[in-house]
Structure 1
Amino acid sequence: MDRYSEYRIMWILVFFDLPTETQKDKKAYALFRKNLQKDGFTMFQFSIYIRHCASYENAEVHIKRVKSFLPEFGQVGIMCITDKQFEQIELFYGKKPHGKNVAGQQLELF
């Protein structure tokens, strides 16, 4: 199988619903988002962050890292999908289709 096959490349999706009622809650929310960004995740929607990984093994490293900085309260979901599955997502702004997802470009250095 090709090293960078669309079935081997993975996307991690992290969705969360965290409380923001108290100042402590807001700080935990901001720290969680900051840690996601520090680990290479980008915002897909307000409470959904995504990260491109070259393999499932690489994705496991980042999933473990996310689990290490989970906030004390709130709900967090983590899901892995293949590049091929990610490609099938249909995006809309209102009723207008946004077009195809732009997958991360895999660069290979020699």
Structure 2
Amino acid sequence: MERLNQYRVLWILVFFDLPTETKKDRKAHAKFRKEIMQDGFVMFQFSIYLRHCNSRENADVHMRRVKRLLPEKGHIGILTITDRQFGDIELFIGKEITKRPDTPQQLELF
């Protein structure tokens, strides 16, 4: 088995802009958000959710799940980046620099 490293471990980012003008739209928005969170995505910013994956194969599984959950309306983007790339992120609250989210510890059983 290949050792986990900063170039093999991936982060999936899901960006979305969904309509919320009607009750049906709001329901679809809430459902999509709830379902991706049930799949392990956490909110990074208001309409940006991310998930840590230990391999490309694991990331592919979660990207397929997101694609099956896509609502009929709206704009959705899915992006994968390596842990190394994510490690270069600079985060601020106002002008104050803050630390990036911790890499979750995930146990994988084979």
- C-alpha separation in 2, matches of 1:54 and 1:33: 23
SS at match of 1:64: helix
Residue in 2 that maps onto 1:51? 51
Residue in 2 that maps onto 1:41? 41
Residue in 1 that maps onto 2:26? 26
- C-alpha separation in 2, matches of 1:61 and 1:35: 15
| Contact 1:53–1:59 (Cα < 8 Å) also in 2 | yes
Q: Is residue 84 of structure 2 the alignment partner of residue 84 of structure 1?
A: yes
- C-alpha separation in 1, matches of 2:17 and 2:108: 36
SS at match of 1:59: helix
- C-alpha separation in 2, matches of 1:62 and 1:2: 20
- C-alpha separation in 1, matches of 2:95 and 2:50: 24
Give the TM-score taking structure 1 as reference length.
0.92
* 1:98 maps to amino acid: T
5+ residue gaps in structure 1?
A: none
What is the CA-CA distance between 1:101 and the residue it aligns to?
A: 3.7
- C-alpha separation in 2, matches of 1:100 and 1:34: 23
What do you get for the CA RMSD once the two structures are aligned? Answer: 1.6
Residues paired across the two proteins, number: 109
Matched ranges for 1:52-67 at <5 A: 52-67=52-67
Inter-CA distance 94–84: structure 2 relative to 1 (3 Å threshold)? same
* 2:10 maps to amino acid: M
What is the CA-CA distance between 1:39 and the residue it aligns to?
A: 0.5
Summarize deviations over 1:8-39 as a string: whole Å, max 9, x none. 00000000000000000000000000111110
**Sequence identity (%):** 62
Give the TM-score taking structure 2 as reference length.
0.92
Inter-CA distance 82–70: structure 2 relative to 1 (3 Å threshold)? same
